[in-house]
Amino acid sequence: MAFSNEDLAIMETIIKRYPRPRSAIMPLLHFVQSRAGYVTNEGIEIIAQQLELAAAEVTAVSTFYTQYKPTPVGEYHVGVCTNTLCAIMGGDEIMDALKDHLGIENDGVTSDGKVSLEHIECNAACDYAPVVMANWEFYDNQTVQSAKDLVDSMRAGNPKPPTRGPNTLVTWKQASEVLAGLNDGRANEGVQAGGPTLLGLKIAKGETK
């Protein structure tokens, strides 16, 4: 794919956020993923040109970070936390069930291009374990069944909404745009906090039994 003039203009504004251009590499890589779906060679070249770096320098950064994908992922990228706490509370069972259900391995993509699967590390939601992420939105307190239902809804083109997130699940490319620091106007959607987040406050206020 080619990057449009409008895309290039957005990349210029991203660079201008920083006192020094090189700092923009990471948001620019997220931006490339928002357009191409993954980090393409073309995307690397454009970032290198804009920042006056060698393509190898951009590649060196891209390959260090696991969120930058060297190959296409699904429209909905599903991450199952299999770090210790989630794994023990059911994350391992969820991961195994999804591999089986989707017929793909870790880092695989379904043949229809809808869903990809990755085992992920702790995603800072341990009080909602076991945790599943989709396009880096929270799906809290998952079970084997709820996780299967979730990926089925994705393949049917009508993904279930996140537990703590926007009203609908955005695509991988749209989420990548948010991670490039662009505002999609959906910050006000969804809850301000889930139950566990509020538990201490409710106890302090005498609102629990």
Please say which residue, 104 or 179, places its beta carbon nearer to other proteins. 179
Output the smallest distance, CB 122 to other proteins, in A.
4
Binding-site size for other proteins (CB under 8 A) equals: 80
Phi-psi region of 107 (alpha: psi -120 to 50; beta: other; left: phi over 0): left
Measure the CA angle with vertex 18, ends 13 and 22; round to 5°. 95
Using the rule CB under 8 A, is 121 a contact of other proteins?
yes
Among 1, 4, 17, 54, binds other proteins (CB under 8 A): 17
Output the smallest distance, CB 11 to other proteins, in A.
14
* Residues with Cβ within 8 Å of residue 95, at least 6 apart in sequence: 80, 82, 106, 117, 119
Q: Which stretch, 1-9, 101-109, 123-131, 153-161, contacts other proteins (CB under 8 A)?
A: 123-131
Among 3, 26, 38, 173, binds other proteins (CB under 8 A): 26
The token duo for 145 is 């069944």
The token duo for 201 is 């406050």
The token duo for 105 is 């391995």
Among 136, 160, 161, 171, binds other proteins (CB under 8 A): 136
The token duo for 198 is 């509020």
Are 113 and 77 contacting, i.e. CB atoms less than 8 angstroms apart?
A: no
Please say which residue, 9 or 124, places its beta carbon nearer to other proteins. 124
Using the rule CB under 8 A, is 27 a contact of other proteins?
yes
CA 161, CA 167: separation in Å to the nearest integer? 6
Using the rule CB under 8 A, is 5 a contact of other proteins?
no
Using the rule CB under 8 A, is 203 a contact of other proteins?
yes
The CB density around residue 39, as the number of other CB atoms within 10 Å, is: 23
- Residues 44 to 73 in contact with other proteins, rule: CB under 8 A: 51, 60-61, 64-68
- Residues 28 to 47 in contact with other proteins, rule: CB under 8 A: 29-30
Written as one letter, the residue type at 186 is R
